[in-house]
Amino acid sequence: MTLNEDHEISSSNSDEEQDYPSHTDDDENEDIDKDDIEPLVFDDSKEIYYTNKYKQIFEEVVSLDDVYILNLDAQKFGQSVRVAIALSNFTCKIYDFDDGNKSVGDCLEHKNKIADVKFGSGNNQLSSIVYTASEDGTIKLWDLRLKEKCVSVFKDDSDACLKPLSCFDISCDGRFLVAGTDVLKDDAFLLFWDVRSTNLLGGYWDSHQNDITQVKFHPTEDKTVISGSVDGIINLFDVTQTTENEALQLSLNTNSSISNLKWLKSKNGDSVISCITNTEDVQLWYTTDSSPYITISRDTISNSMNLKPDVHSQVINCHQTDQNGNCMLLVGNNHGKGEHLQSLNINGHELTPRTLFKNNKQIIRCSWYDYNSGVMITGGEAGILSIWDPSDEIDVNNEKCSLKSLPKVSLKKSTTKPY
């Protein structure tokens, strides 16, 4: 398949519905024996030096309803920031921040869970174009300048039933869309559209054996796509080729279900794929190698956070921190209220403390980072949108900290797998 050809593919429907995880409730199951309560433990003998100090400059609960922030995207231009947040109630909200002033736009709605949200190209200004993909089987293009904001709907209507979408991305030139699906009648699909037309260009359905969880266009090569799946495989495609078999350039076996993929750049300028697994391990891959050149285990991450047991540690995202190939992990804990939000620099196979984000009040589900300004934006399970800004304020507890200043919480011992 090439991205300028129509290619009809069969479709099927999935009747399975996916429930959202419930909020943590510290009061539930009060009759559990005290021996089953395992405290969150820190080694107080360690003094941790955080190299980058941050302050929280904005915090807001985005809805009166009990909702999660599932995904977010943002754009920054000068002193203006625009944030799109996908909520668990099938809506998307737009926040605008301009020189200290905040405005909230109308909700953008779907009929089912929103899988992801992304801005279109801004052409040196804040973009008014927003894309949302949903399990209702559609990608919607919204123009925030118009009264009727939904201007295009992309879907695979080659069959009577639409395919629920689990992830999507936009090519770097803004011309093409790709979306992944869960398994439908033994096939997991990658679907392609040209944004100038709502007609389906074509698709792949032989390269993954389980639900597709991530799909990402290369940030500078508009015809290169990677996809990740519950089957543990990262596939790299050249979508200029005429068939799926010819398009598949590389398959990488992570040996674990894939949660997050991202394109990064190494210190020598080579393309790197970061992979976060559902067991909270991190792998970094060169596209020329058959194995990861860096693997960071959950235990290593937990030790770097000064957090025990490691079952409570959570890897949220991997972010590039500069143009020189440096990157960091945003990490937290996935129980209680997620108080211990930190970032860690990746230095080879080692992790070093970067930032302690004080006053975080939720388990974080998504993040956005701008390395030019250092601004970090987070959203999570309490429905709180937070903006963090680099701080020049002298804060001894943030610069040199044993984590004693953070509250300790008791957590029920996990009796299930962490994924």
Indicate whether 249 belongs to any domain: yes
265/33: higher pLDDT: 265
Three-state SS for 333? strand
ω into 309 cis (within 30 of 0): yes
User: How many separate domains does the chain show?
Assistant: 2
Indicate whether 273 belongs to any domain: no
User: Residues 220, 86: one domain?
Assistant: yes
Residue 330 clears pLDDT 50, i.e. is over it = yes
Q: Hey, how many other C-beta atoms are within 10 angstroms of the C-beta on 5?
A: 10
User: Residues 50, 75: one domain?
Assistant: no
218, 253, 288 — which closes off a domain? 253
ω into 219 cis (within 30 of 0): no
User: Residues 54, 85: one domain?
Assistant: no
Residue with tokens 């050149």: 293
189 phi and psi angles, rounded to 5 deg: -110, 145
Three-state SS for 35? helix
Q: Hey, how many other C-beta atoms are within 10 angstroms of the C-beta on 150?
A: 15
Indicate whether 99 belongs to any domain: yes
Average pLDDT over residues 303-321: 91
Range among 13-17, 67-71, 389-393, 412-416 with highest mean pLDDT value: 67-71
Beta bridge partners of 345: 328, 352
Structure-token pair, residue 124: 């040196």
The Cα–Cα gap between 310 and 333 comes to 9
Quote the pLDDT of residue 307.
Answer: 84
Q: Hey, how many other C-beta atoms are within 10 angstroms of the C-beta on 205?
A: 17
User: Residues 79, 176: one domain?
Assistant: yes
User: Residues 249, 333: one domain?
Assistant: no
53/417: higher pLDDT: 53
First to last CA, the chain: 35
Indicate whether 320 belongs to any domain: yes
Quote the pLDDT of residue 47.
Answer: 64
User: Residues 237, 343: one domain?
Assistant: no
User: Residues 95, 178: one domain?
Assistant: yes
Residue 188 clears pLDDT 60, i.e. is over it = yes
Residue 5 clears pLDDT 90, i.e. is over it = no
Indicate whether 30 belongs to any domain: no
Quote the pLDDT of residue 45.
Answer: 53
Strand order through the sheet with 350-357: 313-320, 327-333, 341-347, 350-357
User: Residues 56, 188: one domain?
Assistant: no
Residue 18 clears pLDDT 70, i.e. is over it = no
Residue 397 clears pLDDT 60, i.e. is over it = no
Quote the pLDDT of residue 187.
Answer: 94
Structure-token pair, residue 359: 């006053």
226, 253, 280 — which closes off a domain? 253
Percent share of the chain, pLDDT over 90:
71
CATH number at residue 188: 2.130.10.10
User: Residues 50, 91: one domain?
Assistant: no
Residue 94 clears pLDDT 90, i.e. is over it = yes
Indicate whether 160 belongs to any domain: yes
Indicate the DSSP class of residue 41: B
Question: Cα 79–376–76 angle (5° rounding)?
Answer: 30
Owning domain of residue 337 = 44-62+301-402
Of residues 199, 210, 243, 208, the one with CA closest to residue 226: 208
Indicate whether 186 belongs to any domain: yes
User: Residues 234, 334: one domain?
Assistant: no
The Cα–Cα gap between 252 and 190 comes to 17
Mean pLDDT taken over the chain: 86
Backbone conformation region of residue 390, classed left if phi is above 0, alpha if psi is from -120 to 50, else beta:
beta
pLDDT band at 59 (very low <50, low <70, confident <90, very high): very high
Residue 415 clears pLDDT 60, i.e. is over it = no
Residue 407 clears pLDDT 60, i.e. is over it = no
401/190: higher pLDDT: 190
User: Residues 107, 52: one domain?
Assistant: no
Indicate whether 293 belongs to any domain: no
Range among 151-165, 176-190, 330-344 with highest mean pLDDT value: 176-190
pLDDT band at 40 (very low <50, low <70, confident <90, very high): low
415/33: higher pLDDT: 33
Residue 46 clears pLDDT 80, i.e. is over it = no
User: Residues 248, 186: one domain?
Assistant: yes
